[in-house]
């Protein structure tokens, strides 16, 4: 399958630069995955499409303030370091700019030396492994020195960094937010529960590779990045019970979707487990773990638009995206949402 089948023209002004004042007032496109029918709603109306005994699955990962601005210890040159994932102890895989200035043995200081990092390994495309040295608790130091790692297409400064966290964020470790979850308020989630809809949580720590456009010409040639996931016994039991009672499992975001599909395909059921997944979902694909999903509007030629095309069909998704552009929906992390479901 050709990657350019997932390309589309997106006017730059439709890329949302800031979040709306009220999380649940974004627009919501509802796409019937069977018929292709489209409805236009406001996000808080998602409750009208959920039924008692359905289970809504949220990713409770928490974004690290993972962007660090530092200086080389020997020359004072400015270095930007983005934490990607923890390797072991105080060693982290990172993305560095400008990478050519950082070689094995280079020491970078942050916050007047409160945090130091020595490069112990170099990799391709700006990847570096750093060993960090500090006093106290690493995440407390990071919280005081780091900045939120907003995607490169967001050029405006974020005044309130909590707006790049979901209201249910709990397990720290992501380099980017699971953005479909940003639309929910605590009050809306309580209303959904009051309707008899179950709320379940999984954890998948989002890596930046999630948002990377596919550089290969054919979909099958693309190599997916790996991300860490966890499912608790409580969630596994709830999902299996939902299946037994005939309820629908609706994931919030591509990250929750990839987690459930990984577990369902590996174990033919849901079970408490953790591990690394590099599952790459694209058409044609038979979903084992989910019945519907909520998602934002994605980058052209990204693995994310391929995933939702597997759920609703490539022609249906590309048509929905054409309509989203015509109707001036807001795109990407702080943009509007799409619910893909069969009513």
Q: What is the pLDDT of residues 59-90, one digit of tens each?
A: 999 999 999 999 999 999 999 999 988 888 89
Residue bearing the bigger pLDDT, 37 or 208: 37
Copy the structure tokens of residue 192: 């959904």
With 80 as the cut, is the pLDDT of residue 214 above it?
Answer: no
* Burial of 66 per CB tally in 10 Å (0-12, 13-18, 19+): buried
- Nearest in space to 291 (alpha carbons), one of 260, 266, 318: 260
Copy the structure tokens of residue 334: 């702080």
With 70 as the cut, is the pLDDT of residue 137 above it?
Answer: yes
With 60 as the cut, is the pLDDT of residue 211 above it?
Answer: no
User: pLDDT value at position 343?
Assistant: 77
How large is the average pLDDT for residues 289-308? 95
Structure confidence by residue, pLDDT tens digits, 93-127: 999 999 999 999 999 999 989 999 999 999 988 89
User: pLDDT value at position 208?
Assistant: 67
- Nearest in space to 308 (alpha carbons), one of 337, 281, 342, 335: 281
User: pLDDT value at position 163?
Assistant: 93
How large is the average pLDDT for residues 327-333? 96
User: pLDDT value at position 209?
Assistant: 64
Residue bearing the bigger pLDDT, 176 or 260: 260
User: The whole model's pTM is what?
Assistant: 0.91
How large is the average pLDDT for residues 128-138? 95
pLDDT band at 34 (very low <50, low <70, confident <90, very high): very high
* CB of 109 closer than 8 Å to CB of 101: no
- Mean pLDDT for the chain? 94
> In three state form, how does the secondary structure of 61-119 look?
EEECCCEEEEEECCCCCEEEEEEEEEEECCEEEEEEECHHHCCCCCEEEECCCCEEEEE
């Amino acid at each position: 399958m050709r990657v350019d089948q997932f390309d589309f023209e997106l006017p730059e002004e439709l890329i949302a630069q800031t979040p709306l004042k009220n999380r649940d007032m974004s627009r919501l496109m509802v796409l019937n995955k069977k018929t292709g029918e489209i409805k236009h709603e406001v996000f808080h109306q998602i409750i009208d499409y959920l039924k008692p005994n359905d289970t809504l699955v949220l990713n409770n990962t928490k974004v690290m303030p993972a962007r660090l601005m530092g200086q080389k210890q020997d020359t004072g040159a400015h270095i930007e370091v983005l934490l990607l994932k923890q390797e072991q102890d105080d060693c982290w895989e990172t993305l560095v700019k400008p990478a050519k200035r950082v070689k094995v043995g280079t020491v970078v200081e942050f916050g007047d030396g409160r945090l130091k990092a020595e490069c112990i390994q170099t990799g391709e495309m700006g990847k570096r492994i750093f060993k960090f040295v500090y006093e106290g608790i690493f995440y407390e130091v990071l919280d005081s020195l780091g900045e939120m790692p907003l995607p490169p297409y967001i050029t405006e400064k974020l005044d309130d960094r909590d707006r790049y966290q979901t209201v249910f964020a709990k397990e720290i470790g992501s380099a980017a937010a699971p953005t479909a979850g940003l639309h929910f308020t605590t009050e809306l989630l309580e209303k959904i529960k009051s309707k008899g809809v179950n709320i379940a949580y999984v954890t998948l720590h989002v890596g930046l590779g999630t948002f990377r456009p596919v550089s290969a010409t054919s979909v099958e040639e693309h190599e997916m990045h790996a991300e860490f996931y966890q499912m608790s016994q409580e969630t596994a039991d709830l999902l299996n019970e939902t299946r037994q009672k005939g309820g629908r499992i609706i994931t919030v975001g591509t990250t929750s979707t990839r987690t459930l599909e990984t577990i369902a395909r590996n174990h033919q059921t849901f079970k408490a487990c953790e591990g690394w997944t590099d599952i790459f979902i694209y058409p044609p694909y038979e979903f084992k773990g989910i019945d519907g999903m909520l998602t934002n509007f994605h980058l052209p030629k990204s693995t994310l638009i391929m995933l939702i095309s597997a759920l609703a069909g490539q022609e249906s998704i590309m048509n929905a995206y054409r309509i989203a552009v015509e109707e001036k929906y807001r795109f990407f992390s702080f943009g509007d949402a799409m619910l893909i479901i069969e009513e």
